[in-house]
Structure 1
Amino acid sequence: MGLFDFLKGTGKKVFGSEAEASEKIKAEIEKDNPGIKDLNVTYDKGVVSLSGTAASPEAMEKAVLMAGNVHGVSEVKADQLTAPPQTVEVDFYIIQAGDNLSAIAKRVYGNASAYPRIFEANREVIKDPDLIFPGQKIRIPKDVA
């Protein structure tokens, strides 16, 4: 998985100074822990590095997205975050102005009413399916359950 790029000027504001960034980002991930044990977070000039053990590939992806969708983060390095191998194909999508989950589901799955699949795949990243923002990066599982 390695390095992910994010839009530094978008996302949820969780820290006020770089000195508290590592602690605040870690707390943000642990608040809705997607399945990461022994999580360690470091922040340096917009780059977050994650380490620990993920229970699943989805947990790893969600932790990366949770860290990357924080205002002030431009990159997430996850090469020290171990996880089992991915068994399903997943794309990543950056929310555009005017997007909503139904429109994304229509584009990706051909069915607007499949939006709950996107919401469930991003529950830790998207708290409310009606509150997404441009620049936010989310997971799009290829399989439709």
Structure 2
Amino acid sequence: MSLQDKYREVTNLAEELQIADLQVREHGNVLYIDGTAKSALDKDKLWNAYNKIDPDFRSADMVLNIDVAEGVSREYTVEVGDSLSKIGKAYGVSWQDIYEANKDIITNPDLIQPGWKLKIPTV
């Protein structure tokens, strides 16, 4: 089995996530996957897919070199009655992406407070 076959799930996911400047190449019995993810969440999804195939990354036969694009272009101040879903819908992003971008202040995505300044990730 070739390395590209072994890690097909990771490369397919990278394409599905629309990793920018995606490059997949094999050199010296190592598969290199390079590119830029739209968000840290997408990058984590790739690492999780890799870990499913090679638990604890012991094979050392793949290098996942994924950068994250500058992901914050706006800031939003939470108002009474807001939810992450409502804010996400207004900006065209998922509530999960907003949550991931603001884990430093949000401990529970169902409980946000008026006055909080949230980073809104780019789409």
**TM-score, normalised by the number of residues in structure 1:** 0.34
The structure with higher relative contact order (CA 8 Å, sep 6+) is 1
Structure (1 or 2) with the larger CA radius of gyration: 2
